[in-house]
Structure 1
Amino acid sequence: MARHVARPDPRAHWLLLLLGLAALLAALSFNGLVANVSGGSGPAGGPAEPAPRQITTGGPVLRLDGPTPAARRLPPRTVALTFDDGPDPRWTPQILDVLRRHHAHATFFVVGARVDEHPELVRRILAEGHEIGSHTFTHADLGSVPTWRLGTELSWTRNAVAGATGREVTLLRLPFSSTTPTLTGPQYRALREAAGSGHVAVLADRDARDWQRPGVPAIVRAASPQGGAGAVVLLHDGGGDRSQTVAALDQLLSRLDGEDYRFTTVSAGIGAPSSMPPAGGGARSSGTVLRWAQAGAAGLASAMNLLLGTALVLGVARLVVQVVCAQLHVRRVRRPRRRLPEVREPVSVIVPAYNEAANIAATVRSLVASSYPALEVIVVDDGSSDGTADIVERLGLRGVRVIRQANAGKPAALNTGIRAARAGLLVLVDGDTVFQPDTVYRLVQGFADPTVGAISGNTKVANRRRMLGTWQHLEYVIGFNLDRRMYDVLECMPTIPGAIGAFRREVLLAVGGVPADTLAEDTDLTMKVLRAGWRVVYEEGAIAWTEAPSSLRQLWRQRYRWCYGTMQAMWKHRHALREPGAGGKLGRRGLPYLTVFQVVLPLAAPAVDVFALYGLLFLPWSALVLAWGGLLLLQGFTAAYALRLDRERYGPLWALPFQQFVYRQVMYLVVVQSVVTAVVGNRLRWQRMARTGEAAALVGVQGRAPY
């Protein structure tokens, strides 16, 4: 039908959506970068060439900003205890407590991301007289990263410490570095690069290797200097279980204290001034912003996890409800009917048609070939320009009337047919739909129950040989018809499809005919019937074959109209929430279901896809494959069950995995577009689908399945 409504202006919201998704991916990636911080001092990669000999044989404190490297050692009986990979909320306080009991000071090489997570621990470290150095922002191997990443790691760590403490850090220990002799060439070059920004490198004389957790005695032995020599000792206060480190530290301090060792910071140990000058206002502000960004990214990741968990729970709950209701529906259908009379009273079939030349002959012939004994067919030509009415008249079929009217839209055409109909039972059929011979008979038998006001038939996709048609076939069987069984059991059917639906004439007249103020007139009409107190049921055996869109562009236009019109109808009938009877069941069962599964969750789907991309970058692939495979298997079981209920072949199941990469995205983008259209107040025009006649050619007038 051709409802002429002004088309909205070109939209900028797609650009905003893309920018929003890019920002979401950036935030999640930032969180993934800082949340996967590792620990330890083991090798980060394979063997590499060593650093220059004058460096590997020198002291552990290196000044590399001049033309000649300068190395310093600690004087005899002086120990600079250093701790990497913190601060850690569990182990750092315990280590600080041990140091305080022994009146010892130390140097903590902190990871910038953990500083942002626990700034109070960094402030405590300084308040108790200890020194802070940089261990990069994400514990990155600076010997293997590009120069821009190296500079970012160092500047972010400086800003993080400045934001937490108001101080700068100049000491630097590379992650995965240890004693001076083990320094590699790439690590040395990274230290030379860092020296350009004022960093002083600190390695170690003694590596306790406590990150391997070799046992307390082994840690104490490895950390103890020999022969009264001074030493920088490498330990860890983060990055894993550090219980052995805490116990070994207490023993080490007691032993070395008895040997007249003094425990100091690295800077004090070599007689250098403080390594932590006051930070400028810019660094402090940048550090604060960085901490907020990290907290926001972590919160966003948590929210995404909650969203995914909620969506999964809702999806499983929906499946359970669908399966239970489907089983109840099957039992109801198979249960012998109560002694109700066979319905054989006259039926009027109303076919609204606008430019349906491709299909109208097949549609009318299939209706005339019906096995139902008392049938009239009324074709309402709504101002077609392709000779639709002429085609029907030339058929010369008995019991077929043609009514011509100026183009006024599908609801107006249906109402014209309703007024002209002679029978008390009306079947409304789209102009591209082909019935089986027993369809009308099966469809109207439910009217033997006087409480039933309308009946939905079973719509099937005829042109399903191509991939797009197969996807729509699966959607019709899984989504539409499985849902209709559930709606039937819960007595809240929100939509009788325009392709096949039966109504009592008195019901249509009582509700004012087919409404014209929404684009989903079938949904709007069905909701009106429910709110009028009538039951709406589903007859799975009444099958209608319809032509589905054959291109993504046509699919988009059709589903855009459907989705926008459904939201219009939901808003129009929102007051059903407070009503008793059938209207209340619609309001408290049907409308919430539609809101959650046809609006809210599809709106969240783009973010879920971004989260999946984030998972490819930062999560174990085995876990992703397992999760995706599990969800696909669940969908496969659902699809197979739905196909079995509809007596369909299982062959189309092969297309289900591919549906996740194109079709699903089109469907949720349709919802996004529809919501934006509704929010900004634009109106959508009718968006008629171009017909090819493929369905009629495939099905034929006998309604055979297209296989």
Structure 2
Amino acid sequence: MATTTPSRGRRRAPSRMTRAAGKAAALQKPRVILALLLLLALTSVMLLDGYLRAEVGGDERVRSNASSSKVPDKVLDGGPILSFRGGEAQSQSVPEKTIALTFDDGPNPTWTPQILKILEANDVPGTFFVVGSMVSRYPSIVKDLVDQGNEIGIHTFTHVDLSYQSDDRIAREMDQTQLALAGAAGITTTLFRAPYSSEADAIDNYSWPVYKKLGEEGYTSVFVDTDSDDWKRPGVSKIIKWATPSKNKGASVLFHDAGGERSQTVKALGTYIKKMKAKGYTFTTISGAIRQGNGQNAENAQSGQAAQNGQQPGSEQGEQGEQAGGVAPGGQQGQLPGQSGQAGQAGGVNSLQAAHRTATGTTLYEGKALVAAVAVAEWTVPGLATGLAVVGVAVMGRFGMMLILARRHYRQRNKRRFSWGTPITRPVSVIVPAYNEKECIANTLKSLARSTHPIEVIVVDDGSTDNTSEIARSAAESFGMTNVRVIRQENAGKPAALNNGVRSASYDIVVMMDGDTVFEADTVRQLVQPFADPEVGAVAGNAKVGNRDTVIGAWQHIEYVMGFNLDRRMYDLLRCMPTIPGAIGAFRREAVLAVGGMSEDTLAEDTDITIAMHRQGWRVVYQEHAKAWTEAPGSLKQLWSQRYRWSYGTMQALWKHRKSLTDKGPSGRFGRVGMPLVVIFQIVTPVFAPLIDVFTLYSMIFIDFKAALLAWLAVLCVQLVCAAYAFRLDHEKYRYLLMMPLQQLAYRQMMYLVLIHSCITALTGGRLRWQKLKRTGEVGTPAGVG
């Protein structure tokens, strides 16, 4: 008959953890929301950065050789400047012996500043058709460009062929570039040059509606009549030759300040300017060319009218010359963002920048917000990419270290001559803390009844409300166990239950197990043998998932074998074991009492006491032959709850023992070796490990699906190799590894979120209490026990 010793124990005041439980529960929802907001922010930043680099929403289609039957001949045969004043298409050429230098695809942090220096040194303005995404990334260059007196035109936001795009996409390309200009330089513009455009006679039936639509909205489209072809990098002399107009004609000359290596452009530009000045050419912006052309037209018209009416030429020239032809009058339908509403108003800029408008109101603030968001993305994404590289190296390094050290550990511990010392045969105490374990406690006691090592069993019922203690007494009696004591105490938590058991233990070695765990017949004997070494103060056993035949159970089985037990081999060999699992661990009773027993300061009392024993100079080892079968959480909700407590408790324990980093001598080994490894591999690396999945998914969707998939499969193969080796060491069946790809897709992401949630809880100062998981009792006595 089982010996039972009822004891209500001393009434305890609510612990600090219990008092804070209500507050912690109230804070959980905000923390989850904060974690989701962080994930959303990361996703948004990556999408913005991808959009800026044309990885998101990019379109590389370029139309060529299309018909131009719908384009008016006067446009095809006209000059490079096309406007729609009054809804009527009007073409204009650059006046004779005048050059409008235009630069496409910028700004670029390398080439644009060099070109600006050359223009400034030669007192020559230029017109820069900028890409909005580049403007938002390099706003200071654009501001310098405008302040120097150069003119800005739009070259779309992502450099796409607009003839392929919908009206909404065209509007976004234009509006977003205007916002970028507003945020960078406080202006908007009415000039536009389409990507992949050339001379006016290349306008086709697909691009004509785009120019017409934008013209009706007030944009002036600018083409090229003299192309330097500098993008071909033909050499400085050819660039100068191809950029030179023939027969003293005026020209809109195309150069590039971005889009590739532009050193030849920089070298050619200064020489070209000097050559053309020597030929009597003047340089202006597109607006300056329009103004000069309008002035000549007005002068010619005035002269003709004066000849008819006897008027003096030039009396109306000033008034008409004030109009910067092709610039949409403010206040008309299609008014551009930031436009002042004043006809011909140039926003306070000089006459060579007549296309500019001062950005005000909503446009200005939205523009600044866009530039600020891009600045965040420009810093964040490269930082994340660097973090990804570091995480990747750390993960691969960890795998390599685990494989090497685990193999060495296995060979060392399985030598025929290996011995811990004189075999331990004296009785030990097995402590079973139990709270509402009616489904499992009988199986637990049944497994202990078959133990091949002499034991006493102490079941500490921590205020159960489901008759756990009565079931334990009945089970002990039915199994003929006379070595069982059942102790009742008011609910005080698992650490208090374990401490009660340690104080009540009769022997100098105590084995601790959970109330939902079953031992094999030889488990206790194997577990206590390392105590033959007087330096050993604690032993970690080999915890196995008993309910592994479900999807969630199989995932945890893989994690236990690979993540926990392979890790423990490594830590054992390095003599810095961080955790004795609650499901199966053994301690010298004197060592437990010397460190103050199980602490209630953290949720991970097992990690807490393990580190404490290291700091007292005890050696902690792993005994892979001592196996315990535990019931893993059966639902995602319970799994989240368990791992959340584990992760947060580990952080608490590490913080509590942070001074171990400065411990001296043998007792400081954990601080010197174990603490950094645990922080790097169990906190820092897992927190940033989602970057691998995020960047992989991002690459699959927006960059190169095949390459990203192959990279992901390569990492999976490395993990499979490690898992297979771990399964081999533990003599497990390989068929469970078939679940590993799915585990990587679903289970691992959940564990990442749990850890991030725990980090947020730790940073916000939250507390949690010991949580009870729902059990089914499906893990019975292991095969071979009875």
TM-score, structure 2 length as denominator?
0.80
The residue aligned with 2:218 is: 198
The residue aligned with 1:11 is: 29
The residue aligned with 2:11 is: none
Note the alpha carbon deviations across 1:602-646, whole angstroms, 9 max, x for none. Answer: 444556654444444543334422432232222222222222222
Decide whether aligned partners of structure 1 residues 388 and 137 sit closer, same or farther in structure 2, where only a CA change above 3 A counts: same
SS at match of 2:413: helix
- How far is 1:146 from its partner? 4.0
Q: State whether structure 2 residue 464 is matched by structure 1 residue 380.
A: no
What letter corresponds to residue 594 of structure 2 in structure 1? A
- How far is 1:448 from its partner? 0.9
Q: State whether structure 2 residue 631 is matched by structure 1 residue 536.
A: no
Note the alpha carbon deviations across 1:476-523, whole angstroms, 9 max, x for none. Answer: 111111221122122222211111111222223333333344332222
Q: Distance in 2 between matches of 1:214 and 1:578?
A: 65
- How far is 1:100 from its partner? 6.8
Q: Distance in 1 between matches of 2:36 and 2:205?
A: 43
What letter corresponds to residue 393 of structure 1 in structure 2? A
Q: Distance in 2 between matches of 1:217 and 1:43?
A: 32
- How far is 1:128 from its partner? 6.0
Decide whether aligned partners of structure 1 residues 356 and 45 sit closer, same or farther in structure 2, where only a CA change above 3 A counts: farther
Paired residues for 1:480-491 under 5 Å? 480-491=564-575
2:478 is aligned, of 383, 390, 395, to: 395
- How far is 1:397 from its partner? 2.0
Paired residues for 1:88-167 under 5 Å? 88-95=108-115, 105-119=125-139, 121-122=141-142, 125=145, 130-165=150-185, 167=187
Check conservation: 2:420, 2:532, Cα contact below 8 A: no
Q: State whether structure 2 residue 71 is matched by structure 1 residue 52.
A: yes
Deviates more, 1:296-305 or 1:317-326: 317-326
Paired residues for 1:191-340 under 5 Å? 191-213=211-233, 223-226=243-246, 229-246=249-266, 262-270=282-290, 271=292, 272=294, 273=324, 274=351, 275-277=354-356, 279-282=358-361, 287-335=367-415, 336-337=417-418, 340=421
Check conservation: 2:287, 2:355, Cα contact below 8 A: no
Gapped regions of structure 2 (runs ≥ 5) = 1-13, 295-323, 325-350
Q: Distance in 2 between matches of 1:573 and 1:65?
A: 76
Deviates more, 1:601-610 or 1:179-188: 601-610
Q: State whether structure 2 residue 505 is matched by structure 1 residue 421.
A: yes
Decide whether aligned partners of structure 1 residues 287 and 564 sit closer, same or farther in structure 2, where only a CA change above 3 A counts: closer
Note the alpha carbon deviations across 1:441-500, whole angstroms, 9 max, x for none. Answer: 221111111111111111111211222111111111111112211221222222111111
Note the alpha carbon deviations across 1:286-324, whole angstroms, 9 max, x for none. Answer: 544443332221001122112212212222332333233
Q: Distance in 2 between matches of 1:73 and 1:99?
A: 23
Deviates more, 1:196-205 or 1:160-169: 160-169
- How far is 1:561 from its partner? 2.1
Decide whether aligned partners of structure 1 residues 68 and 298 sit closer, same or farther in structure 2, where only a CA change above 3 A counts: same
Q: State whether structure 2 residue 447 is matched by structure 1 residue 366.
A: yes
What letter corresponds to residue 80 of structure 2 in structure 1? P
The residue aligned with 2:39 is: 21
Decide whether aligned partners of structure 1 residues 218 and 488 sit closer, same or farther in structure 2, where only a CA change above 3 A counts: same
Check conservation: 1:381, 1:402, Cα contact below 8 A: no
Note the alpha carbon deviations across 1:127-169, whole angstroms, 9 max, x for none. Answer: 6654332212332333334444433433443344455555542
Check conservation: 1:530, 1:586, Cα contact below 8 A: yes
Decide whether aligned partners of structure 1 residues 216 and 496 sit closer, same or farther in structure 2, where only a CA change above 3 A counts: same
- How far is 1:432 from its partner? 2.0
The residue aligned with 1:83 is: 103
Q: Distance in 2 between matches of 1:162 and 1:609?
A: 36
Deviates more, 1:545-554 or 1:502-511: 502-511
The residue aligned with 2:317 is: none
RMSD: 3.4
Q: State whether structure 2 residue 516 is matched by structure 1 residue 432.
A: yes
Check conservation: 2:102, 2:252, Cα contact below 8 A: yes
Check conservation: 1:351, 1:379, Cα contact below 8 A: yes
The residue aligned with 2:528 is: 444
Check conservation: 1:63, 1:69, Cα contact below 8 A: yes
Q: State whether structure 2 residue 644 is matched by structure 1 residue 565.
A: no
Q: Distance in 2 between matches of 1:11 and 1:103?
A: 63
Decide whether aligned partners of structure 1 residues 20 and 410 sit closer, same or farther in structure 2, where only a CA change above 3 A counts: closer
Check conservation: 1:59, 1:73, Cα contact below 8 A: yes
Decide whether aligned partners of structure 1 residues 61 and 488 sit closer, same or farther in structure 2, where only a CA change above 3 A counts: same
Q: State whether structure 2 residue 741 is matched by structure 1 residue 661.
A: no
Percent identity between the aligned chains?
Answer: 45
Note the alpha carbon deviations across 1:198-252, whole angstroms, 9 max, x for none. Answer: 3211112244444344666765665454555443333322101234545665776
Q: Distance in 2 between matches of 1:501 and 1:42?
A: 62
SS at match of 2:38: helix
Decide whether aligned partners of structure 1 residues 42 and 568 sit closer, same or farther in structure 2, where only a CA change above 3 A counts: closer
Q: State whether structure 2 residue 194 is matched by structure 1 residue 174.
A: yes
Decide whether aligned partners of structure 1 residues 351 and 213 sit closer, same or farther in structure 2, where only a CA change above 3 A counts: same
What letter corresponds to residue 198 of structure 1 in structure 2? G
What letter corresponds to residue 563 of structure 2 in structure 1? G
TM-score, structure 1 length as denominator?
0.88
- How far is 1:601 from its partner? 3.5
Decide whether aligned partners of structure 1 residues 636 and 403 sit closer, same or farther in structure 2, where only a CA change above 3 A counts: same
Q: Distance in 2 between matches of 1:24 and 1:42?
A: 27
Decide whether aligned partners of structure 1 residues 519 and 92 sit closer, same or farther in structure 2, where only a CA change above 3 A counts: closer
Check conservation: 1:135, 1:173, Cα contact below 8 A: yes
Gapped regions of structure 1 (runs ≥ 5) = none
Larger Rg: 2
Decide whether aligned partners of structure 1 residues 415 and 257 sit closer, same or farther in structure 2, where only a CA change above 3 A counts: closer
Q: Distance in 2 between matches of 1:517 and 1:102?
A: 74
The residue aligned with 2:543 is: 459
- How far is 1:4 from its partner? 6.3
Note the alpha carbon deviations across 1:114-135, whole angstroms, 9 max, x for none. Answer: 3344455445555665433221
SS at match of 1:355: coil
Q: Distance in 1 between matches of 2:213 and 2:376?
A: 31
Q: Distance in 2 between matches of 1:240 and 1:20?
A: 36
Q: Distance in 1 between matches of 2:227 and 2:766?
A: 69
The residue aligned with 1:183 is: 203
1:512 is aligned, of 590, 596, 600, to: 596
* Matched residues, number: 698
Q: Distance in 1 between matches of 2:498 and 2:119?
A: 87
Check conservation: 2:77, 2:200, Cα contact below 8 A: yes
The residue aligned with 2:488 is: 405
Check conservation: 1:24, 1:610, Cα contact below 8 A: no
SS at match of 1:660: helix
What letter corresponds to residue 484 of structure 2 in structure 1? R
